[in-house]
Structure 1
């Protein structure tokens, strides 16, 4: 019996060593194959999946796969943030909308995660106030993360709160404002944060911003909510609205040509 047990144990070790050797040879073969440079062009050609075809200059110059959030005809895609009622900002004859002072922030009915967002905005030509009190508004991604809108022409303020800043978090690379009263554009690439099932953030939100075609935020990792007072917060959340700010000081900021492409 003892002899039989010894033989069985020996056979087991032999089989294990053989399997390990086979695995090792297989792994070695794969490593060698990855080190061998392809010698034919077709060896590095990929044909699937085929990307969706998008018309970059669709209706009114909007990409064909984008969702128009402000069409110049109504504010039907927007509601007030504080009560969910239809937005009461002012719809202008030129198709833009203007903040109705002290009416409150407005936000999209639809909720979003990661997006490409385009919008145009302008501060009133007749300047009033100074610092944060002149032409102040803001674009909030997922209702939490603000890209600052402000008239900074001959109007200085703290640089992590100036136009194009990720409010209180990231100073813009440059100030790319047009003259007061003219239209600015923001093109924003935003990737939403991720959280695990314990509510812990596992991946920070990131944001890239072009102001009038100029890169001003370069894949910045957002630290958390953009707080007026205190440190950024990182409570877990899912998709949420795009929100536009009524700063409450008769800022009279106007918006137009707002569209979004979902990235997730």
Structure 2
């Protein structure tokens, strides 16, 4: 029996979450950022980006009425240039007309910049992101296109010279390495590192602009591409290149939407170390943690400009160092330090410990964050090596300073690359057991299935949960089979879509019962069998009943189709989608949070419900009613 939805909208469950705040000890000494609840240092992975809040259009500069701030964007992938919006905030949308088709500009000017954003392209649309209003990353509906050019999505657009012969007027365009576009109407992700052109004091250009990295939907599509001048259709292509200028979003071509726009501006002077002294110790074995160096007599003392523990050591095992000197800070603000060592180490600034990376371990990273005032500070690094390889490397990120080395060296050859090992199915599906990264977690009881039709997936066998799906090349198994294969990770060759996790089935006592994330003790995995198409069917027992879960490419080959059945009457339900919104796009398809499309194909009908602030699609599991649906992206 299907769940009966309440007539009134369900109330959202509110959780009382303890507020974590940062306690900054402002003084002339360094201020360590503390998590006030745990009394432990709160350490972010990177320093935060600046974000456009997109509360109103005043955050940007435009003379046209085609740009607006909205709360939601809806685009039917079957209709050319189709866009509908809902009131609200958080999304920047361009809806050009014959009369209104202006570009829009950032209020800040940038030189070197790291830009991160999401965008949505309607069917057949065209737009672009112009760094310094001059150098374009093309936005285009290139979904499913085979032979990419410099006019496709993610390309570095071509330059143009009317004085050249007709076939040579367009030049220096760079197509993306591969097509990783999603279907029109879905949100896509771009992460771009851009280096501005450099000039001397007289304005003479010393270096061209460079797209250092362009990553589209998680796949690197450009690296270190030099641009000798403005690309075609740049807003000010007839003006000289500059060290800094505004970021521009193209408004005169087609509709486009943006959200989660964030950036880091770079250009400040770097941290510098000076007057470095050191002490070298040879310590009795075994050695599993940093010794008390002040109680030991150094074998060697001296001064260095560059810390290199391999060069300064006189033996391999049982050694320790103490380095100290001055740290010159050009700009006040938060500094994130990353200390990598094999074995233990520790970083002190102004006699305060910033990073404790003690213990016997491989070449590993540990981070610490501290607020430093402009001026000169003292620093100290302690280090020891027990046996075998050794290394010490200190990196940092600061205000307007991108991640870079401060001291030490990466201890391994930079050209020591692994041989890439790829697996692709031929006539029958390939099935590989491995570990799989899912969100922030490494899943261990997983199987990945590659299909000859080019639609692949990873599946959690203990939970009965589809984790991720992708199209194109199947598996990169380098981290499984090259060398020791320590990580045992299978990585998709292409852009993958991670799905919100849904265990295979659960009891729900009432409409408002949350769907669990842990599988019931009454549901038991039984492995899988192979059907006539050589594809796996995953089997789970529920009492004396059997659930069968099966995946295959959908009819068009652009997504995946699932069939789920049970051989008796039951009180189980299966959640198949969860997102902040699930919206009907047309008569057949739903958009699941703008991440992928859902289409019901079977006799069993999905139930829509809102719970805990999310929309969900669930099915009742019924005898003789197979659940069948497809997803595509």
TM-score by length of 1: 0.65
Match of 1:253 in 2: 256
Given that 2:105 and 2:249 are in contact with CA atoms closer than 8 Å, whether structure 1 keeps it comes out as yes
Q: Are residues 1:215 and 2:204 paired? A: no
Distance in 2 separating the partners of 1:86 and 1:247: 10
Distance 1:219 1:54, change over 3 A: farther
1:1-264 alignment, distance < 5 Å: 55-56=44-45, 65-69=48-52, 71-80=53-62, 85=63, 89-94=67-72, 95-101=90-96, 102-124=100-122, 127=123, 134-154=124-144, 159-168=149-158, 169-207=173-211, 208-228=213-233, 235-248=240-253, 251-264=254-267
Cα drift, residue 171 of structure 1: 1.4
Distance in 2 separating the partners of 1:54 and 1:236: 39
Distance in 2 separating the partners of 1:75 and 1:153: 30
Please say which of residues 215-224 and 96-105 is displaced more in the overlay: 96-105
Q: List runs of 5+ in structure 2 lacking aligned partners.
A: 1-32, 34-41, 73-89, 159-172, 268-633
Cα drift, residue 260 of structure 1: 0.5
Cα drift, residue 78 of structure 1: 0.4
Q: List runs of 5+ in structure 1 lacking aligned partners.
A: 1-51, 57-62, 128-133
TM-score by length of 2: 0.28
Please tell me the root mean square deviation across aligned C-alpha atoms, in Å: 2.7
Higher relative contact order (CA 8 A, sep 6+): 1
1:156-197 alpha-carbon deviations (Å, 9 max, x no partner): 887011111110121111111011110111100011111234
Distance in 2 separating the partners of 1:241 and 1:88: 19
Distance in 2 separating the partners of 1:100 and 1:166: 24
Distance in 2 separating the partners of 1:104 and 1:198: 34
Distance in 1 separating the partners of 2:153 and 2:127: 10
Given that 1:200 and 1:236 are in contact with CA atoms closer than 8 Å, whether structure 2 keeps it comes out as no
- Equivalenced residues, count: 190
Distance 1:228 1:152, change over 3 A: same
Given that 2:118 and 2:258 are in contact with CA atoms closer than 8 Å, whether structure 1 keeps it comes out as yes
Structure with greater helix share of residues: 1
Given that 1:78 and 1:86 are in contact with CA atoms closer than 8 Å, whether structure 2 keeps it comes out as no
Distance in 1 separating the partners of 2:239 and 2:226: 13
Distance in 2 separating the partners of 1:246 and 1:189: 23
Distance 1:140 1:54, change over 3 A: farther
Structure 1 segments of 4+ aligned residues over 6 angstroms from their partners: none
Residue 109 of structure 2 aligns to a residue whose secondary structure is: coil
